[in-house]
Amino acid sequence: MTVIKINAITVPAGSGDELGRRFAARAGAVDGQPGFEGFELLQPTDERTTWLVITRWADEESFEAWTKSQDFSNAHRGASETAPASGHGHGHGHGHGHGGSQAAPGDSAEAGQRPVGMSAELWSFRVSTGSTDS
């Protein structure tokens, strides 16, 4: 059954567009990972400064395998500078650890860029029920 990982990334006011640009620059980077089903970056439409990174995985094992892969390490290099590490980091800090704070892939210090996020928290869900129409 599908596993949903949500990384809630808090950025300073006015920094969200940079976070969006960094994620856009890496679009498709996770697409080939076994068990990966999809990704969305949700931008707040109100005064909030927390963006949500939603990833869907076939199962927990697929997600865990990705967080332990070289591709994951390469994508999240520098992410630990953003927030205190807890769990094992899904950088995904995406905070794809086990409920801890972490940095996000689009939030890494790649190419000499400073991290955008101030903190990140990973939430994990599985689909319980839903509509039949997509």
Model pLDDT for residues 60-91, shown as the tens digit of each residue: 999 999 999 888 887 776 544 333 333 333 33
Whole-angstrom CA distances from 70 to 19, 30, 77 are 23, 12, 10
Domain-embedded: residue 50? yes
Structural domain span for residue 87: 3-126
pLDDT at 7 (0 to 100): 93
Distance (Å) of CA 129 to CA 31, 47, 75, 82: 25, 30, 32, 35
Q: What is the pTM of this model?
A: 0.70
Within a domain: 132: no
What pLDDT shows up at residue 1? 82
CATH number of the domain where residue 35 is located: 3.30.70.100
In a domain, 114, yes or no: yes
Q: Answer whether residue 134 is part of any domain.
A: no
- Average pLDDT of 101-108? 43
pLDDT score of 99: 37
- Which pLDDT score is estimated for 85? 33
Average pLDDT, the chain: 76
State the CB neighbour count (10 A cutoff) for residue 111.
Answer: 8
85 belongs to a structural domain: yes
Number of domains into which the chain is organized: 1
Within a domain: 131: no
pLDDT-derived band at 54 (thresholds 50, 70, 90) equals very high
Task: Please indicate, yes or no, if residue 133 is contained in any of the structural domains.
Answer: no
Q: Could you tell me how many residues make up the chain?
A: 134
Write out pLDDT tens, residues 25-52. Answer: 888 889 999 999 999 999 999 989 999 9
